[in-house]
Every structure is written in structure tokens, then in C-alpha cells.
Structure 1
């Protein structure tokens, strides 16, 4: 992690120098139909972006998280001073953003920039459709060392970035969030063991096979690891299996319940024998009281309540202390789940994140200066830029101070509620709860600390999580299916039965695991899915994958 961050930090310095020495030409190509923009850009330094005496206003449409109006955010106010570009904002509530964005497209009433939308709101089909119409500007010709040095360097280091954001017509209509932090490989929240239970039972080595996990869960059930003299232990819990499914399916060679790619071959996992083996294993756990009997009926809050009563042995959450209520230091005794093997898969595998989220930044045809807009956002693809975006300018969230060793550190200002620092941060920057266009890295050596601490921040927990991830997840993580775009025709084909397939597979998973449906019905279940057009469904994704692989 430290080496990675230092390399990225060095990259940021290198790219800053590149930008100073080779900025874009004085005029910019306009995204609208009027041709060339008359706005001249500064070619002498990184900031300001526009030349002295020039004026440029860019309107931004983005989801609002409800903590503050964007016009009042100190980071955006300060960035206007740095760049020389005035920005205005249309920020409907996040819950309504998808609807508002669709209405804006339909009415041709778009802002110059669409920011933080994510592919849930600005879908791949919308990118392709509105890109082909010219409503969204194609960006690939602007991704150059002169205009976007930071993003260009990242794309050169990882060719999958451009492959994943290039549509079938060969164009790029949006920029992504790129995750390069220590836990970026997490596909979803991990699973954690209750370390106090392991200590109570004298367990020094975590299970590495499904049989070993079964044996440990039996001990959780039978040997009173919480020490209260009651038979109230729940060895494994979840809410509708949504948190543990991927981690346990991995033991059976399955990375997702749906479309998966292995060695160039695309398949639909819910009808595979490996998936049947997973269901049979989970059914065994359920029947023997090793899987929570309320797994399909409880809420997340109910699950957490059990954790705070010290009744859970293995569970999922972003961090274990979110469920147990313990401190960060106590949570360092709760080991991360060790990926398993089984008779179905001799190598441990888990679903890994592609470390990229699309549709974070798009430019519309109304935009008066595409180049200025891209230089505006490119800063956030550097380590220096994302640090600025996340923490804001000095004097609001943080201020400089000296620690006990005489070294300069960042401490929280007096106006920050130290019991709820994130809510305060969400009021000063748009990089809060959204898929924002930037690189995500670890804050090595740059964590904010309490003013009265007068020393370096305690990063032991973060370093422990990074180490657990590196040792257990990184070697086993594989992306289930690459981020790619379907053509309009392909999207029409799969969308016709995607929901029905997913709904039926999920419904039958619960029935098989809980024993409502016998495995004598497996062949009937498979035939039902086949009758729903799964062969054409897989063939469509296979064609899209083959096209992506050749790109």
C-alpha cells in the first residue's frame, strides 16, 4: 500500500510538471454546434485554467446528498478562485436524480456538465443513445497529455480503463471514478469472524475449505463461545444472503449469481452444477442451525442487534465493529474471511471489483469549452487533486499544525464536530457519497487528527485492514465479468428477460437453501430458466465480451 501511494504521489508531481510544460492551445473546441470556443486557456501554469481577462461559466447537474447546497461548499468556492471558472449547480436530491436527469434529456434542458451520476442514473444505454445523437460529447480526442495529463497517465498504466469506458461505436462519453486504494478490490462488504469466539475456542488457523468452515460453525453452535451459558449462538448470519453469497459461492468456483466469464467463456452460473453444490452446502448449514433461521426475514438492524449481543460468529459488514459495536482496536481481533476451496474448486476465488465506476463525468453539447471542462476535472485524477477535493482548502475542515516531532500535520479545525466528522465533510465538498470523477487512494501519512492529539494519527486499524486484504483477498479476487458496453440491439435483447431471470433465480435460491423446494426439483428449475431464453442471453454477453477482448 505504501509503495503504491508513493508511486502515485510521484506520478502526480510528474504530471503537474507535464501540464506546466505542455498545456493546450489558446482556443478550445466547443461542445455545442457553434464551433470554436473563444475562451482562451492559460498555457503557462496549471492554475488558473483560463487566461487572464477571460470569463467562463459552466453549469453542473449532479445528485444532491442533502447536507449542503453546492454553491455554499467551501471547496467549490475555492476551486472557482483557483481555476478562474465560475460554476453553477442544479442538484436535485439523490433519490430523484435519475428521474430528473431523464427529464432534462427529454426536454433538451441540460447543464454543461453531468457530474457524479453513476451508471445507475446515466446508464450505458443512455450514453450510447445520447452520444450517437450528439447530445453527449465524445471525449476520446481530448484524452491527451496536454489536456488531461493525470487521466492519460492512469490510462497508459492500465489499458483496461479505456476499454471499460469505450462504447461499441468507438467513443468515450463519460469519465469514471478510479479506485486504487488498498481495499479497492472489495467487490462488496467483506465477511468477518468474531475474534473473541476464536480465542475462546483456541482457534489459531482459519478454515481454508468448506469442510473446515462447517466444522468451525458446529463448534460455534455447540461450545458456548460467548460464554453466557446459553445456547444462543448464531454461527453464520446474513440478510437474504446478499452479504455472504459471493464469498461462499467462491468456494464453488462461482464469482457471481448471473453472467460470469472464465477463460473467455461466458456462462450463466445459476444453472451450473457448481451453483447446485453451493445451494446444497447452504441447505446443510440451514438445516443444522449453522445458518441463521431468520436469514430471509430479518432486517439489517436486527442482524446488528444480534452482533452487539455477541451472538454472531461469522457475518458481513463494511467493518466488523459496525456489527459488534466494539472499537477499531478491538475489531483488529476479528479476522477477515479466508477464501475457501471445495471439491468443486481446488483454487480459492472470490469476486473482485474492477476498481472502476463509470458515468462519473459527462459533457453535453451545450458546454461552451470542452477542453476547459476536462482540465477542470483532470486535477482530481491526481493524488494532490483528490486530497484537495476530499478535504477542501485550509481553514475549513483542517488547518496546519506541528506534531510532537516538529513535523507538519493536518488537524481538525475548531468548527468540526469530532464525533461526526464525515457529516461536516459532506457539507464542504461534493466528494461525499457519490461516484465522483477522480482517483481514490489511501491517505498515507495525511489523515486528519484531533488538535489536542499533538501527534501522528493512529492508522493501525487501516493498515491492518490493508494487510488482511492483501494477504487474503488480493490473491483470490477475480472480476466476474468485465465492465463493457452492450450495443443498443444487445441491450434490448438482454433487458427483455434480465429481470425475470434474476427474480426467479433469487426466489429459487431461497427455496432451495431453506428446504421449501427439494433438490429433486433441480432439473425442473434448470429447464424453467432455459425456457426463459437464457441461451440467447448468454450468447449476447459472449458476443459483447469477444468484442471487448479484441478492443
Structure 2
């Protein structure tokens, strides 16, 4: 894989963190006074210690064999016993560990899908997760610097009881705001001498041309103007064209609303149903796999499609992919201000210390290094001698990967844990690496089509235990119903004449209480 991919695999979301310190944590941390922690430099402890760490495994290598972790253990004098179940099993294993009390000293790389905000609040209240803000203030200068420089983000990582129980991944990469982008088939645009659309009407007209004018030039009517898998990647761009930022709870001028029951959402469904009925949206959108999508792309049958990079779908080289422009946010008859939803700037749940940990001071010092420029590069790229080396002039030189690996990403995943999971660090461009033409292309497209129109749907919020319980009881059925009806409305199985019945059903699911809870949580965030 190319250099541009190396950083994004570890991407969470662009943001930085801050925290409020408290002298009364309300939790007791078990610290071993016999082990002295050095507040600066390496080693962190003069006397070797061993900690236990639980994290999702990606299956490319055992963590104990990763050069990054081996070298860092030598630097710090801290050894680890690793428990790394497969990512698919991690949530279950983590929950069982919490339930049994046999929880590792450190929970690493979980992310909010596994260590949810509700779990942070609950296990923090129980004292199983310990508060981090005082430890940060005394032992984590790199994290504290980020906190001091960016106090607004404290609102998003401080729970309702005033404590921080988990550190985030902070993404400062130029493309950090991305949701999964959409890309146009540049060859098709060239064949039709067409421009990138900026309105919903222009997009409709272009998709019709994709369908009817044989842009792939094979003499067959096999073109698929637009496709996705379950609308999971294109949805954000299309709901945005009708004035929405999220397929669920969103904030608009300080007011929280549930977007899938608004008139805006009805307009989105109407538009997508039109595309589906006219053969402009792939009829297999709600049934195909990602592999099937990519196969169509490699056959040059797709005009507009989502993926992290267009060549992931088309099979082209980076040099060829420079000709595939990024989707431009659309205006529509109901909104003349294009927008694109972007990530909120932070992914929580990447590093927590439990009350079984006898060395919390050493643990916070251990992770603090990864929030420095040097440490972030070390975690993301591994030690010198694997992916890179420095020549006699101190210039960074990329190294050839071993022949048994298909890509540098596969190889990198054997060197460092910062692969495929959200790790506690600052993700940024590696200094000293020259940008490729593809990187420069992505930067330009991002500035023009993401940065210029991006809005965060709603800040990262924490709920109280009581609020979370109510939300949980409402959310499962609500999300399932909305998901099913989206597919039915778009495919025409459910006529849009049944819209009022759909809204009434949502109202019967205690949606008012659901929205009120998030409004209160947002108000707490805004006033904190």
C-alpha cells in the first residue's frame, strides 16, 4: 500500500483533548509505593515491572512479538502480559472480564464500540475504571499540554461525574474529518465531457447520462451509475444534501432533533426512491457484499461509489486514481447551503486504567509518550530498520518490505499495534516523508470538498446511568425500524404515501423522551 494509507489506517477523528482536574476523585487507586516512577525520560521505572493489558487483536502477529512493543519495553522497563482476543470477539471478552472482576490492568484500543461511553460512566462510578485527570496532571506532560492548548475538548471526554476514565485517539491528519468519501469515475467524466455536480438536479442528470451514454465504451448497457452496500457509506452525503448531518440524533443551532422523522428526511427518501426506480441506484444496494461492489468497480461498471480511496474499488494504481474526483457536497431544492458531515474530532475509549493496576503512575507515563510527536511516529511507523531508516545525512528513507507481504500495511500490522484499532496517540503526517502526487491530490480535494463544507453532527456527549438505561430501551427497536423502513421506502416496497404512519410509529417509541435526554446532555456539554 502507498504512504497515504499508512496514516489513515490508524485514523480516528481530528481533535484534541482537555480535562478538568479534581482533588477529590471519589475513587481509590491501588499504587505500589515501593516502585519509584521517573517523571522524565527513560526508563520509566528503574526496577522492572509487569502489567497486564487487554486489547483487540487483528491477527497479523502476536503482540509480544511486535518490534515496537519489544523496543518500548526495553526503553521503559515495563513488560506486559497481553490478552488480545480477535476484534470480533473482543466486546464479549471485555464484558465477561468486567463481570468477573478479572480485568486487566490496562484496557487498550477498545474504542467506543467496545468500551462505550455508558460503560465508562458505569464502571467509573463503580470504581473499576480509575479517574485519569490527576495522574495526567502529574505524570503525563504531553497529554497535559494537549489539554491546556485545547480546553474545549474537555467537554467531550469528561463524564457527567467530572472525571476522565478513558483517553482518546487524536487525529491531526489533514484528512481526519473524512467519513467514507465518494468518488466519481474520472474516465466516465472524460468520456462524457462532464463536470462534477454541485446540486441534486445536476447529479440526477449526470447519473442518467452514465446509464444511457455508454461511458465505459463497451457497447453494452451494463453501467451502474451509483451504488453502495446498505447505503452505509453514501447515506451521509445524500442526507446532507437535504439539510441533515446524521442518520439519528443531530444538533441544529443548539436544538437536538431526530433527523429520520423530519420533512428533510422525507425529501431524501423521495430523491433516492427516484434514483432507484429509474435504475440510477444499483438494485443490489441492499443485498450485495463489499466484495461484490469491488468486483463491479474492477469491471469499470460504476460511475459514483464510496471507498476510502477510489483505487480500493477500481483496482487502479494511485497514479490513475488521481483522475477520479471526490464527490462535491450538494445543494437541493430545500437547502441552498451544501454541507458534509465530518467526524467530531476524537475517538474515545482507547486507554483506561483499572483498579487492579498497582502501577497507575507508570501506566499513564507509558502511554503519554505516544502523544508526543516522536512517540506518535514511533507507535505508528515502528522502530527504525523496518519501514524506514535514516541515511548518513539524517534523511528518512523508505525501505522495501519483505517479499512475503502483499503490502506495507500488512507488514506494518506485524510491527505495531497501531493497525486496525483506535490506539491512544496523535495521528499525523510523518515528518520527512515527501508527499506523493496522490497525497497532494487528496489534500486539494479535501480542502475544496470537505473542509469547506464540513460540520460535526453533534458533539461527543456522555449520559448519566439513568439516561443511558432509558436510551438503551428505546434505541434498539427504533434503529431497527428506521433501518428497515429506509430500505423499503427507497426500493418502493413501502410507498411514501405511508410517511405519516411511519412518523406516528416513531412517535409511539418514546422518541420525545429520547430527544429530550440528548437535549439535556447537549445543554450540559454546551454550558460546561
Q: TM over 0.5, yes or no?
A: yes
Spell out the pairing of 1:339-418 with structure 2 (5 A cutoff): 339-401=329-391, 408-412=395-399, 415=402, 417=404
SS of aligned partner of 1:361: strand
Counterpart residue number, 2:43? 48
SS of aligned partner of 2:467: helix
Spell out the pairing of 1:332-343 with structure 2 (5 A cutoff): 332-343=322-333
SS of aligned partner of 1:252: coil
Counterpart residue number, 1:148? 140
Structure of higher RCO (CA pairs closer than 8 Å, 6+ residues apart): 2
CA 120–414 in structure 1, closer or farther in 2 if over 3 Å, else same: closer
CA 370–65 in structure 1, closer or farther in 2 if over 3 Å, else same: same
Spell out the pairing of 1:475-514 with structure 2 (5 A cutoff): 475-514=452-491
Gaps of 5+ in 1: 6-28, 447-456
Aligned residues: 504
Deviations for 1:346-405, whole angstroms, at most 9, x for unmatched residues? Answer: 111111101211110000112122221111101111221111112222233433336xxx
Once the two structures are overlaid, the 10-residue window that deviates more, 72-81 or 54-63, is: 54-63
SS of aligned partner of 1:358: strand
Counterpart residue number, 2:417? 430
* Among 525, 531, 535, the residue aligned to 2:508: 531
Counterpart residue number, 1:198? 189
Counterpart residue number, 2:119? 126
Counterpart residue number, 2:224? 234
SS of aligned partner of 1:227: coil
What TM-score does the superposition give when structure 1 sets the normalisation length?
A: 0.88
> What is the Cα deviation at residue 39 of structure 1?
1.6
Counterpart residue number, 1:81? 74
* Among 291, 304, 320, the residue aligned to 2:310: 320
Matched, 1:546 2:523: yes
Work out whether residues 194 and 335 of structure 1, in 8 Å CA contact, stay in contact via their aligned partners in 2. yes
> What is the Cα deviation at residue 414 of structure 1?
6.4
Deviations for 1:172-221, whole angstroms, at most 9, x for unmatched residues? Answer: 1010111110111012x110000001111112x32111111111111111
Which 4+ runs in 1 deviate beyond 3 A? 31-36, 413-419
Gaps of 5+ in 2: 1-6, 8-24
Deviations for 1:62-95, whole angstroms, at most 9, x for unmatched residues? Answer: 1121121111111111101111222221222222
| Alpha-carbon separation, structure 1, partners of 2:340 and 2:120 | 30
> What is the Cα deviation at residue 157 of structure 1?
2.8
Work out whether residues 395 and 413 of structure 1, in 8 Å CA contact, stay in contact via their aligned partners in 2. no
Counterpart residue number, 1:139? 132
| Alpha-carbon separation, structure 2, partners of 1:540 and 1:409 | 51
Spell out the pairing of 1:448-487 with structure 2 (5 A cutoff): 459-487=436-464
Deviations for 1:240-277, whole angstroms, at most 9, x for unmatched residues? Answer: 21111110111101111111111110001111001101
Matched, 1:116 2:103: no
Work out whether residues 32 and 368 of structure 1, in 8 Å CA contact, stay in contact via their aligned partners in 2. no
Matched, 1:439 2:429: no
| Alpha-carbon separation, structure 1, partners of 2:31 and 2:425 | 29
CA 264–33 in structure 1, closer or farther in 2 if over 3 Å, else same: closer
> What is the Cα deviation at residue 407 of structure 1?
6.2
Deviations for 1:10-33, whole angstroms, at most 9, x for unmatched residues? Answer: xxxxxxxxxxxxxxxxxxx9x966
> What is the Cα deviation at residue 55 of structure 1?
3.0
* Among 391, 406, 409, the residue aligned to 1:419: 406
Work out whether residues 370 and 425 of structure 2, in 8 Å CA contact, stay in contact via their aligned partners in 1. yes
Counterpart residue number, 1:39? 35
Deviations for 1:158-183, whole angstroms, at most 9, x for unmatched residues? Answer: 33332111110111101011111011
Work out whether residues 171 and 426 of structure 2, in 8 Å CA contact, stay in contact via their aligned partners in 1. yes
CA 387–34 in structure 1, closer or farther in 2 if over 3 Å, else same: closer
Work out whether residues 317 and 323 of structure 1, in 8 Å CA contact, stay in contact via their aligned partners in 2. yes
> What is the Cα deviation at residue 42 of structure 1?
2.3
Counterpart residue number, 2:492? 515
Counterpart residue number, 2:158? 166
Work out whether residues 29 and 360 of structure 2, in 8 Å CA contact, stay in contact via their aligned partners in 1. no
> What is the Cα deviation at residue 507 of structure 1?
1.0
What TM-score does the superposition give when structure 2 sets the normalisation length?
A: 0.92
